[in-house]
Structure 1
Amino acid sequence: MRNFLLRILVASQWGASLALVSGCGTHVESGPSSSAPEGAASGASSSSTGGAASGVSSSSSSTGGVTSGAGGGGEVDPPDASAPLDPYPDPTCVGPFHDGGYYGQCCYEVHCTAPVGGACPAATEAAPHLDDLPPGSGTCTCSAEGEGAAGWIQGPYANRTASDPASCCYLVGSISCEGRPLLVRGEPRVAPLAHAPSAWSQTDVRRFERALADTDLSELAPAERRELARRWAERGQNEHASVASFGRFALALMAQGAPPQLLEAAHRAALDEVRHARLALAIASAYAGEPVGVGPLPLHGALDDLGSLEALTLATVVEGCVGETLSAIEAEIAAQAARPPAVRMALQAIARDEARHAELAWAFVRWAVTTGGARLRERVAGAFSRALDQVGAGAPGIADSDLPPSHGFLAADELHRLRQQAVADVLRPAAAALVDERGSSAGREFSGARGNAVLRGGATYLST
């Protein structure tokens, strides 16, 4: 958990987290605008499809057709469809580190597809045939310096597994860029479930849909399937309500005159929650054996009072700093235990996104206490103390005791231990650093190359 603590400390102390970066467009060139601090490690972004994760190169050059990040690239000749393809080279990270607008290096990922019309498409024509291309959850496309817009896809290359029907492989440049409950008068608000065909019970992620279709649930007893369907549907309801929660948060930010970077991050978080809801409801539908969607969300009274800066900040302490930090950690641990690939993929995506949402919450509270002064800082310290005491003292429940642990939900006693560990190792140190009036000395202890490397690395934020 130390790595996650570093991310939170950076978010709440220096505003250099994902929550405070500019929005990513469809293309980013890895230009010379920034350089890696002395001692910072190279970052790697993990590939979500089709093979190897991005590797880390200590030099600025790449191999096997990927142009050097330090030198010019030139144009790539179109492939000869009749010539045999070389196997794809090891992916590398190229170019300078970024920590404003984007973070980390431009890292190449492997994406593969089947031939089209008997031949592999040229790099400039391959994008429509590849699954899960950035921009997506926390990533944008990029290219090595000197390659221009055409350099974000390199290839085609041959698949290293000769028997794989997805025999056309490409290296795709990727760089990182930028659920809380919906409470109305203190009561959580969710949309009713709808057991009928619904767009909410499907996703547009082909790799996930294929994995879900291949999931074998025959080993589960009917009662287990019903309970898992209910729990995933409940998760989908909550993720769906989080879309509205972040929409209201964005309006409240505007009402308080918050900086545009926070507003951008809030809107991106709402889009993340749309995807989370669809993933969860698609899984619920698979376990239920019928479509499970959501109906209209009752929003009466939700916008009656956007609240003062103090009310917004104290709510964010509980729902964002504490709630979403715990959600990110719990989703990552649940993903590690999940056996069905579709469940694991969904939880990994949720964990990554919730980590960024937590960073947004910590960055906002830092801005708020800087704006609101000593009184608000004292109220924030008190809110953290009460919330963390409540989480740490919570007794293990029994709700999940009968659920198979490999289908996305942690056992109650394990969840209890994990939350206590997260409070001790992540939340209390981060809260102490945020409210420290002496310049956040507790946070500076974790800064420098180590803290920056965690943000720039980005692929693994949780180390237990």
Structure 2
Amino acid sequence: MRDTSLLRTRLHRALACLPLLAAGGLACDSGPAPEVKPATQTAAPVATPTPAATPTPPPPPLPPSPYPERTGQDPFDPDGIEEEGCPNGDWCAPAKIAEKLATQSSGQELGCPTRLMGHPQKSKADERQFKGISLNPMMQGRLRKIATAEQRAATKDETICCYHWFDYCSGRPLLADDQALRAPLRPGSAWLSGHVSEDSVAALPLAARRHLAGLWLRDAGDEHAAVAAFARATLELMAVGAPPELIFASQQASLDEIHHARSCFSLAALYADEPAEPGPLPALAPRDGGLVALARNTFLEGCLGETVAALAALRAGRSCQLAPVREVLATIADDETRHAELAWATLAFTVHHGGPAVAAALRELASSIGDRLHDASPEPELPAELTREVLAAHGRLGPAALATARSDAWHDIVVPTLELILGAAEAADTADAIETSDLS
């Protein structure tokens, strides 16, 4: 059985046991949930539980989004699913500055490089020159020809080049004004979980080690920010009267993310010349908007982000040849699966109590994401010393594998699970309507 089928089955069985969905026709199987095994083990097939009642009819397909595309978006180079919930933004700079981030295979249009990528090492001068764009090694930037022409007309500067950029990321981000926040990094060892050693790392070329260190530092920053994201989610759950089971699970998830962050900082130190730790992280107030806002935020940050994170960690662990890295990935895969269960349970709560308004908002959001799912994205270039085989052996998915994991998670897990929840709610509403009609 495919890993996506196992993960979907586990999520659906967890949802089936929720009292909130009992009225929707879902059957609860009291047996243990199928284990999504990381690393190199092969999980035994698990049969999907047979419904005890008449199967719920499939819900209607998700309608197309009624909202227009992003203003000024280049129709020849649309944005991709990879940036959903990840750091992203727009950036304009003179061509001579943009050239410093150009990929080796980048073409030229309008006197500008068409593709950009980040790098793991940066100086204070870099931060001043590249203010407004990420320098993380997995950053990708694409030339926006319409925005470039508009900016040149406005500034009378024919050397200006404008880009849209995003970082690859997964897991629950800490969003503020649609931008993902991370704490700044500084030298220090406060967040290390202990010394990690692996002889094969010392044999890697310096450029490869630095690149891998940058990737683990990025993950460490994301996991650290997720601690705050779950703390805020707990307050938002309490603001809508969520049951204690959801609040407890959200608090537990914050503790999980502390362990993930420490593990990632420790792995980064394994590859880097010196350890790093997070600095101050801005405090964010809970977001308002009631059940509709909670549903949209949970779907984007949790149902999508945590599901992708679980699948990506599972797949990264399979090819990993380093025991300490494989152990971290195994823990993260299991924890992120539980976090995905929490997200989907929260979504079921919002649909149950929010009714058609919540369901409509979720369909619109899912449709807008699905419309951009297949947009092509460039693959960031790797140091010559770091082949894709070495990358996989050290527990890292390449950009193509990560994009495949996102696509698989969307088609095989996210869409069917959303339809399961919305279909159960619609079935329950229909049953209520029939009962009310019979009584009248």
Superposition TM-score tier, normalisation by shorter sequence: 0.5 to 0.7
Q: Does 1:313 align with 2:316?
A: no
User: How many residues are aligned here?
Assistant: 283
Pick the aligned partner of 1:5 from 8, 18, 28: 8
The amino acid of 2:203's aligned partner reads E
> RMSD of the alignment, in Å?
3.0
* CA contact 1:395–1:416 (8 Å) conserved in 2: no
Shift of residue 401, structure 1, vs aligned partner = 4.6
Q: Percent sequence identity over matched residues?
A: 35
What is aligned with 1:254?
238
Residue 187 (structure 1) shift: 1.6
Counterpart amino acid of residue 8 in structure 2:
L
In structure 2, how many angstroms separate the alpha carbons of the residues matched to 1:37 and 1:386?
A: 34
- Name the counterpart of 2:376: 395
Aligned counterpart in structure 2 of residue 282 of structure 1, from 266, 285, 302: 266
Whole-angstrom CA distance in 1 between matches of 2:412 and 2:392: 24
Q: Residue 232 of structure 2 contacts residue 286 of structure 2 at CA under 8 Å; is this kept in 1? A: no
Residue 184 of structure 2 aligns with an amino acid whose one-letter code is: P
CA separation of 1:310 and 1:400: change in aligned 2, threshold 3 A: farther
Opposite residue 351 of structure 1, the aligned amino acid is: A
Verify the 8 A CA contact 1:215 1:340 in the aligned structure 2.
no
| 1:53-452 matched pairs, under 5 angstroms | 179-196=171-188, 198-203=189-194, 209=195, 212-299=196-283, 302-303=284-285, 305-390=287-372, 392-399=373-380, 401-402=382-383, 403=386, 404-436=391-423, 437-439=425-427
Q: What's the secondary structure of 1:213's corresponding residue? A: coil
Q: 1:290 to 1:393 in 2, by over 3 A?
A: same
Give the distance between the partners of 1:275 and 1:180, measured in 2 at CA.
15
2:364 & 2:261 partners in 1: Cα distance? 33
Distance change >3 Å, CA 311–CA 37, structure 1 → 2: closer
Q: Report the TM-score when normalising by structure 2.
A: 0.59
1:183-233, Cα deviation, whole Å (9 max, x unpaired): 11222111111123x220234xxxxx5xx2234213311111111111101
Query: Which amino acid in structure 2 is aligned with residue 366 of structure 1?
Result: A
1:349 & 1:387 partners in 2: Cα distance? 29
- Which structure dedicates a bigger proportion of its chain to helix? 2
2:34 & 2:405 partners in 1: Cα distance?
27
Matches within 5 A, 1:39-58: 40=31
Alpha-carbon distance, 1:420 to partner: 1.9
Aligned residues of 2:14 and 2:33 also touching (Cα < 8 A): no
Q: Say whether the 8 Å CA contact 2:9–2:34 is kept in structure 1.
A: no
| 2: CA distance, partners of 1:373 / 1:362 | 16
In structure 2, relative to structure 1, the CA distance for the partners of 1:16 and 1:351 (3 Å cut) is: farther
Displacement of 1:418:
2.5
Cα 1:46–1:376, aligned 2, differ >3 Å: closer, same or farther?
A: closer
Structure 1 CA distance for aligned equivalents of residues 236 and 202 of structure 2: 47
- CA contact 1:252–1:312 (8 Å) conserved in 2: yes
Structure 2: runs of 5+ lacking an equivalent = 21-27, 42-170, 429-440
Structure 2 counterpart of 1:136:
none
